[in-house]
Structures are given as C-alpha cells and as structure tokens.
Structure 1
Amino acid sequence: MKAIISEKYGSPDLLKLREVITPTPKKNQVLVRVHASSINFGNLVLLTGNPLPARLAFGLRKPKYVIPGGDMAGIVEAKGEDVTQFQVGDEVYGDLSSSGWGTFAEYVVVDENQIALKPSNLSFSEAAAVPMAASTALQALRDKGKIQAGQEVLIHGASGGVGTFAVQIAKAFGAKVTAVVSTQNVNIARSLGADHVIDYKMENFQNLEQTYDLIVGVNGSQSIATYKRKLKDNGAFIHVGGANRQMYQTMMRGPWLSIFGKKKFITFLQRHNQKDLVCLKELIEEGKVRPVIDRSYALSEISEAFRYFEKGHSKGKVVITI
C-alpha cells in the first residue's frame, strides 16, 4: 500500500510517499481502507517533535510512529475473528492518535473499540475532519468545563478546527456563545450559530464589560490574568491551544489559582474514546454540528498541506484524501 513516512523530526519536506506492507488485522481488529484523513495540531507535533516534552510520548530522537496520520474515515475491508461491532463494508471513522496513528495511508488496522460508524449524512472527507478536533471541543466543554444551558461561553479562536466545533457544540448544549475571530472569519462564526462575534482586530474583548461562565482558549496569546478578569465567580478557563506561554501559565499557575480562588483554570489533552464518536455522530445526524473544511489535498500533496496548516490561518479543517 501507499503511505506517508516520517522517519525523523523536522519540516514537512521530510514526509515521503512510499510503498509499505499492508497490515493484517488481529483477532480484535478491523482492516480499514482509508478514504480520507485530516491534519490536527497533534500531527504537527509528531512531525516536528516540538514542543520538546512531547517527545517523551512520541520518541526522543526520532518519531515512534512513522505514519503520522490520526483521523480517518473509510470502509471496513476485513475483520478479526473476535470482532463483533462491525461487518465488512461498514463505513467507519475514528481517531487513532492513542492507538498507533498510521492513517496517512491506504489501509490501517485498528481495534474495534477505537472507531464508530460514520455519520450517515457526511462524506468520507467530511467525516475525517471530525474525530480529533470535535472530540477535543466536546471534552473541553462538557467534561472539563461542565457546560450548562444558558451559560455565557467565550470561544477564543473560534475559526480553526477545534474552534468551529466548539461554537456548535456549545450551542447544542444551550449556551450563549461569543466567538473571538479575525476579520476574515466573522461570517464563518456567525454561520455556525455564535450569538455574538468579536473581531479581535477591531475590538479587544477584555475591554468589554461582559464576563463569562466558561472560556475556552483554542488559539490566542492572552495571559491567564486576562482570562481571570473575564470570568464570573465559579467560572472556568479551559486551555486547549494557543501560545506556549499561555499553556505554561495555565499548567503552572492554574492549579494555585483554582485552589485559592473561585475560578478554575484547566489545561488538558484530548483522550480519544468510542462513546464520544457516537455522541458526535448523533449531533451531526441531528444537524446540530457540521465540519468546516478549508482545503483538501491529495496524499501526494501532504507536504504542501502541512506547510499551509502550520501557518495557523486555516478556516476549519485541512483534509487529506486518499
């Protein structure tokens, strides 16, 4: 099969399209013919080896996982004898970042409990844009932020992969959503259902009187002190992405601020699970959530796709068709 191979940390130019052996499923695994994948921040970390602490998981000197794709959507081609959840021909999707990666390839094997049936109203390319980014948004809002209907929620960085899903999922939970985006992304945020959109090039949200029950920092460089001022008592700030300075502030100062104050400051890493894929499938089929796709690239164009993605200006997701 054809696959993208990354044998050492570095730039997108190091990614090579090669022929490798097609994997064989074990007893509890399925073989999926991959129709599409997508790029997330985790893929960029696995490619570059930065930030350096990530190498404790990905390999100190070179990548532990040489086929770096995580998201996938495709069709079950074969299954192990113990597989009970899926049949050959089923259309499935999933996130393999916690189970070996490998989806920048024509085929991948995966444990049956790591995937779910694909949303019936999405194409393979659309479905491949969902797993990692949408699960991150769901877990940040529901599990870490304890979102409730009627709350005031701010999504800082609402136009990227995680941000576009966060706006929609927050609305699905009944929250009142304020989206912070750049000028060129104002219409996207409005189309996703944001109640209020702040163009950060035109106005600074920290100068507004509004405070929030929950702030999700998907992208941005604001200090943790800024978010503290914009939170209501008993509110929570969830760090998902953005400047490294912001991440380290939340990791180091967040626990102390949370213990000795009424506001919570949390940073977390998404943990893939099948139940969330099923939950997202239901939200998508109910018409409450949809993926936003910025650009689509062929597998052979993956270096170009990464160069575009790492600029940090994508509107929604960057998809790889296979």
Structure 2
Amino acid sequence: MDHMRAIVITEPGGPEVLSWREVPDPRPARGEVLIEVTASAVNRADLLQRKGFYDPPPGTSPYPGLEVSGVVAEAGPDVLGFEPGDRVCALLAGGGYAERVAVPWQQVLPVPNGVSEIESAGLPEVACTVWSNVFMTARLRKGETLLVHGGASGIGTMAIQLAKAYGSRVVATAGSPEKLARCLELGADEVVNYRTEDFAEKVTADVILDIIGGPYLERNVAALNSGGRLVVIGLQGGTRGQLNLGALLAKRASVHGTTLRARPVDEKGVIVRGVKDNVWPLIEAGAVRPVVEATVPLAEAAEAHRLLENGQHIGKILLVR
C-alpha cells in the first residue's frame, strides 16, 4: 500500500497530540478528485476535533483540516470539470492536514486569478460559510445592516468585505484596538469593542452573524431590526442562552442555527457553485481579498493551533507543505 504523511490526532488533548506520521494514501472514489496538497488552513473546528468534541462525519477522513489548495493529481470516474494538473482549492469534511486528500468534485473550486495557490487554501471554508449563511440563509440585501461578531476572524474578515461589496452597511465587534482598526480597514462602517461596550446598546442590524452562541442570544435578538435574521454558526461562549420569544414575535424576526461540515455533498455543491459564481468574481476583481495572519509548516500544525488558541490573530492561519 502506498503511503503519505498526515497530521494524526494521537488522543484527545492539547496541541502536543498532533503528530506528523506516515498513513495510507487516499484513493479517489467515484465522483472524487485526488488533490496533491500545497496548503491547508486552521479552523476552530480543528481545535474541537483535536480535543475530542467534533468527530468527522462518518466515512470521511479522520485527519483534521476543512480546506486545502493544491493540484489535481487524479480524477475518479464521473468527475465533471476537473482533470490532473488543475490548480484548485476545496472545501473538505476533513483530511486537509495531509500531503494528499480525496474530495467530491462538487466541493472543488479553481484557484481564483490574482490569488496565490497558498493563499487560496484559506478561502473555501470562510467563503462558503459567509455565502451560505449571510446570503443564502439570511438573504442580506443591499442597504441592510450586517452585524458581524468576531470581525477580525477568518470568517469575520470575509463577511465584512463581502457584505460591503454587495452594498450593505457593516458593524463588526472585536476585542482589541488592533482588531477594530483592521475591521475598519476592511470596510466596516462601525466597530464595537466587546470588552468595553455592549453592542446591543449601540447598534441595530437586519442580519447578525454570530460565533458566540448562548451568552449573546438575548442581546442579539434585542439588536435585531424588525424582520431581522440572526444566524448562529458557532458556540464559542456556550450552548445555552435566554430567548425572549415575545421580542422575536414583535420584531417578526428569526433565529437560524447552521453547520457546514456535515451537510450532504449535493448541498455543499450548491453552496460551492454559489461561491464560484458570486464570490470568486469579487476576489478576482480585487474587491475581496484573503486576509492571512501567518503561514506555518504543515508538520508543525501544533504551533498553528497554539496561534489560533492564543486569539491574537487577524484573518487566517495557513499550513504550508
């Protein structure tokens, strides 16, 4: 059996449980392409998986990593639109921290013009997350206000830029002067320091993109305009909060909870096609850019996890072979 190297989680725990090891080579199944990986990126889901709290969906790669860039090495039967040699990036259910990964062709994108192959590794997860939640689910419209929590995160930096490109007003929360300044540079119209200010007393929004969860629920609903949409995509603060249904009804507002990783391939394919049609042209025009904090060698993924957990980063942390 042929082998490659990948980051293996030896047991649930801290960054030190990530080990660069020889493992069996993946083979592309029907409808999959095999990508020779150039770079991957670190997402909070990887930290949860490392700690034993977020297992990969059944039948998918056991290694962490929800996105990669690289070159198509092989195309399985029934693959449409990709062939060996194509420069691509891809949304994964797992397996990105490796030298090679097999992925359904529906989740693969060409590397956008004007973006390096390495940088493009940090695009699929944030672009698909923001497009599916802010635009497909919450239907943010031109002239509406988007409130982005964690505006300096990978998702936040993409949400600010994309919403501005579509003609919306953007308010971002962050926890340091450096992060607040970067949010303004990326196009935010207003920023709120969540450590010293209560966003619910300062702003109202039509759409809120939330990564905190429980502790923000009541204030998020309070900050919604009439007909507002709250989309919860992360639970960094916890799973439980108070929901005033009276306020929700009076505002004719809605609360959505979503995840991306476990969706069926066809659903991911719809999102990926939406990103290719609507986000890629903005990236190629220079209106939206990947924001990269650091690049770390893939074999040193533990150091990249420490950087992300430290919380000082702005944008994405990439892993490079």
Q: Please say whether Structure 1 and Structure 2 have the same fold, judged by a TM-score greater than 0.5.
A: yes
> Structure 2 residue aligned with 1:262, among 229, 252, 260?
252
> What CA RMSD, in Å, does the superposition of the two structures yield over aligned residues?
2.5
Residues 151 and 172 in structure 2, CA contact (< 8 A), matched pair in contact too: yes
Distance in 2, Cα, partners of 1:168 & 1:34: 27
Distance in 2, Cα, partners of 1:191 & 1:102: 34
Deviations 1:144-171 (A, max 9, x none): 2210100122112100011111111111
The alpha-carbon deviation at position 106 of structure 1 amounts to: 1.0
Partner of 1:302: helix, strand, or coil?
A: helix
Deviations 1:33-90 (A, max 9, x none): 100000111111211122xxx45x658xxx9743111210001122224333112111
Partner of 1:154: helix, strand, or coil?
A: strand
Distance in 1, Cα, partners of 2:19 & 2:140: 43
CA 1:260/1:186 → structure 2, altered by over 3 Å: closer, same or farther? closer
Q: What pairs up with 1:170-209 in 2 under 5 angstroms?
A: 170-182=163-175, 183-208=177-202
Task: Give yes or no for the alignment of 1:21 onto 2:24.
Answer: yes
The letter of the residue matching 1:289 is: V
Task: Give yes or no for the alignment of 1:111 onto 2:101.
Answer: no
Residue matched to 2:273: 275
The letter of the residue matching 2:252 is: K
Could you tell me the percent identity over the aligned residues?
30
In structure 1, stretches of 5+ residues that fail to align are none
Distance in 2, Cα, partners of 1:256 & 1:115: 43
Residue matched to 1:2: 5
Deviations 1:19-38 (A, max 9, x none): 22322323432221100000
Distance in 2, Cα, partners of 1:154 & 1:298: 34
The letter of the residue matching 1:26 is: A
The alpha-carbon deviation at position 248 of structure 1 amounts to: 2.9
Residue matched to 1:135: 128
Q: What pairs up with 1:217-256 in 2 under 5 angstroms?
A: 217-219=210-212, 222-245=215-238, 247-249=239-241, 253=243
Residues 70 and 87 in structure 2, CA contact (< 8 A), matched pair in contact too: yes
Could you state the TM-score of these two structures normalised by the residue count of structure 2?
A: 0.87
Residues 213 and 232 in structure 2, CA contact (< 8 A), matched pair in contact too: no
Distance in 1, Cα, partners of 2:117 & 2:251: 46
CA 1:229/1:116 → structure 2, altered by over 3 Å: closer, same or farther? same
Residues 150 and 211 in structure 2, CA contact (< 8 A), matched pair in contact too: yes
Task: Give yes or no for the alignment of 1:48 onto 2:48.
Answer: no
In structure 2, stretches of 5+ residues that fail to align are none
Partner of 1:198: helix, strand, or coil?
A: strand
CA 1:205/1:264 → structure 2, altered by over 3 Å: closer, same or farther? same
State which drifts further: 105-114 or 156-165: 105-114
Distance in 2, Cα, partners of 1:10 & 1:125: 28
The letter of the residue matching 1:129 is: G
The letter of the residue matching 2:15 is: P
Distance in 2, Cα, partners of 1:286 & 1:3: 35
Aligned length: 308
Q: What pairs up with 1:80-95 in 2 under 5 angstroms?
A: 80-95=76-91
Residue matched to 2:297: 298
